[in-house]
């Protein structure tokens, strides 16, 4: 029999949980505030505490360190009716073992309790105890789906560690937001956060951008220039699209990870790097390793910790939270006041598969708000391809949306964007959120060709 303390000012909910847990042979005590909970905990000595975040007086987050100080080995499950990333990260960093949203799923709670009680006290040594600060001052992620809750928990658990993090997920899912959240919750949140797109520059320029160069190192190097690794000292360097690195650059990055040093172009002496490295990719690095185009030793160095971001089509329950958050940001940027969404718009947004993920959603909302004349986002503000998703899918693919593969959806989307931009590859890359090499591969993979007679602008690689 285990002893469980429930600290929640919702007495009816607490008593319901108490009856359920008693039926599971647990001994349960109740408290309606943090202070009362601390008094009961000192006498009751529970094995596990279920702690609500929002309560009159001190919040659960404010009381969490006191419970851990009083009972260092106790397991704590936080519960809340609010779905925000920052409190999840803070709770995990202060020592919470899990974070569950209201209304509570009894099966989820039972599984969490069992996991906590089964594993003993081993996990306490792995959890950080310093709260994250200042997270609310920055753009944040939202999501109530199980997948996003796990992402938030993982950020909270790993941010204080200097270990290398690999963020995976399709283009437009928000990988840089995750990297910035890890940085803000790290031991050096006031240090620099430096981002590099590894696919944006040719190899020589990328090497100079990453590691710097001495005067005269190459044609045009008229002065000494510091690289991004130097600028990131005391902070974090984020390498996006790391899967696009050439073999030579892979070797140089591996040396940085192994020995914490790099050599600027034209320099004779290596420099030290203390920057935390976070990388991201939208390609399957394991597959690239098998194909021989990505170093296996570098792959294992990068994925010490892996955070995977699911595509938007797999977390549709987050869609309206995202819409509200993005609209608030867009209204601020455009000095607009579009605060209402028509019901038929919601249906269209839910039916669409969003191959461009959150970035595509933001672009659609931005354009609609810019064209709006009132305070309501109406169906007419949506692009035709979203309004007519079902009919268009049947007409163009000859099969219903539910029978289409991800490749079908991606091919149609890429083709549509290329046609909408007049096959201007620069603008298409910007909308799709991919590099030129990635767009070229998709064009070849899907056998896409411009309409006969079309004057293709910027069709060549630059």
User: What pLDDT, in 10s, does the model give residues 58-93?
Assistant: 999 999 999 988 998 899 999 987 766 777 788 888
CB atoms within 10 A of CB 161: 16
Higher-scoring residue by pLDDT: 221, 244 = 244
Residue pLDDT, tens place only, 284-329: 999 999 999 999 999 999 999 999 999 999 898 888 889 988 999 9
pTM: 0.63
Say which DSSP state 242 is in: G
List the single range of 10-19, 44-53, 203-212, 403-412 with lowest mean pLDDT.
Answer: 403-412
pLDDT at 189 over 60: yes
Interval 398-422 mean pLDDT:
71
pLDDT band of residue 173 (cuts 50, 70, 90) is: very high
Say which DSSP state 243 is in: G
**C-alpha span between 439 and 459 (Å, rounded):** 11
Interval 164-171 mean pLDDT:
95
Answer yes or no: CATH 3.40.50.970 is held by domain 162-308: no
Higher-scoring residue by pLDDT: 334, 115 = 334
pLDDT band of residue 395 (cuts 50, 70, 90) is: very low
**C-alpha span between 356 and 417 (Å, rounded):** 11
pLDDT band of residue 141 (cuts 50, 70, 90) is: confident
Contact between residue 346 and residue 381 where contact means Cβ atoms under 8 Å apart: no
- Domain spans of the chain, in order of start: 3-137, 162-308, 314-445
Say which DSSP state 218 is in: S
CATH hierarchy code of domain 3-137: 3.40.50.2300
Tell me what pLDDT residue 49 has.
Answer: 96
Tell me what pLDDT residue 140 has.
Answer: 66
Residue partners of 1: CB distance under 8 A and separation at least 6: 25, 26, 27
Residue partners of 167: CB distance under 8 A and separation at least 6: 175, 178, 179, 278, 279, 280, 281, 306, 307, 308, 309
pLDDT at 159 over 50: yes
Nearest to 241 by CA among 163, 177, 171, 148: 171
Domains 3-137 and 162-308 in one fold: yes
Q: Which CATH class is domain 314-445?
A: mainly alpha
Alpha helices in 338-432 (DSSP H): 343-351, 357-371, 384-387, 389-397, 406-420, 425-432
Helices 106-118/11-23 angle, 10° precision: 60
Tell me what pLDDT residue 440 has.
Answer: 87
CB atoms within 10 A of CB 143: 26
Interval 242-253 mean pLDDT:
94
């Amino acid at each position: 029999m285990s002893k469980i303390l429930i600290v929640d000012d919702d007495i009816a909910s607490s008593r319901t949980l108490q009856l359920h847990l008693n039926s599971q042979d647990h001994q349960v005590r109740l408290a309606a505030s943090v202070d009362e909970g601390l008094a009961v905990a000192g006498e009751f000595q529970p094995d596990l505490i279920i702690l609500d975040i929002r309560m009159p007086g001190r919040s659960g987050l404010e009381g969490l360190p006191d419970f851990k100080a009083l009972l260092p080995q106790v397991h704590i499950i936080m519960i809340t009716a609010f779905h925000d990333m920052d409190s999840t990260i803070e709770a995990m960093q202060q020592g919470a073992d899990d974070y569950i949203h209201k209304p509570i799923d009894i099966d989820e709670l039972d599984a969490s309790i069992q996991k906590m009680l089964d594993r003993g006290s081993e996990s306490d040594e792995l959890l950080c105890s310093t709260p994250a600060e200042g997270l609310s001052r920055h753009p944040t992620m939202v999501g109530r789906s199980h997948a996003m809750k796990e992402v938030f928990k993982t950020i909270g658990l790993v941010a204080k560690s200097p270990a290398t993090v690999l963020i995976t997920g399709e283009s437009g899912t928000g990988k840089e937001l995750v990297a910035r959240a890890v940085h803000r919750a790290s031991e050096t949140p006031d240090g620099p956060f430096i981002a590099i797109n590894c696919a944006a520059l040719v190899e020589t320029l990328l090497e100079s951008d990453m590691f710097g160069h001495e005067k005269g190192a190459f044609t045009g190097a008229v002065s000494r220039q510091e690289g991004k690794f130097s600028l990131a000292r005391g902070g974090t360097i984020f390498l996006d699209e790391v899967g696009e690195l050439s073999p030579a650059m892979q070797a140089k990055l591996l040396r940085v990870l192994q020995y914490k040093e790099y050599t600027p172009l034209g320099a004779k002496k290596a420099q030290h790097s203390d920057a935390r490295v976070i990388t991201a990719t939208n390609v399957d690095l394991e597959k690239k390793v098998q194909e021989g185009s990505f170093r296996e030793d570098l792959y294992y160095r990068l994925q010490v910790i892996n955070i995977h971001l699911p595509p938007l089509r797999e977390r549709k329950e987050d869609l309206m939270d995202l819409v509200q958050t993005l609209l608030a940001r867009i209204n601020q940027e455009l000095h607009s006041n579009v605060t209402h969404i028509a019901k038929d718009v919601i249906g269209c947004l839910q039916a669409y598969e969003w191959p461009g993920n959150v970035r595509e959603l933001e672009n659609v909302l931005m354009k609609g708000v810019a064209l709006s004349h009132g305070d309501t986002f109406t169906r007419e503000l949506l692009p035709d391809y979203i309004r007519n998703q079902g009919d268009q899918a049947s007409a163009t693919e000859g099969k219903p949306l539910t029978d289409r593969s991800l490749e079908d959806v991606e091919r149609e989307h890429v083709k549509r964007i290329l046609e909408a931009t007049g096959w201007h590859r620069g603008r298409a890359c910007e909308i799709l959120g991919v590099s030129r090499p990635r767009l070229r591969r998709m064009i070849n993979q899907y056998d896409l060709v411009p309409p006969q007679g079309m004057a293709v602008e910027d069709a060549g690689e630059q």
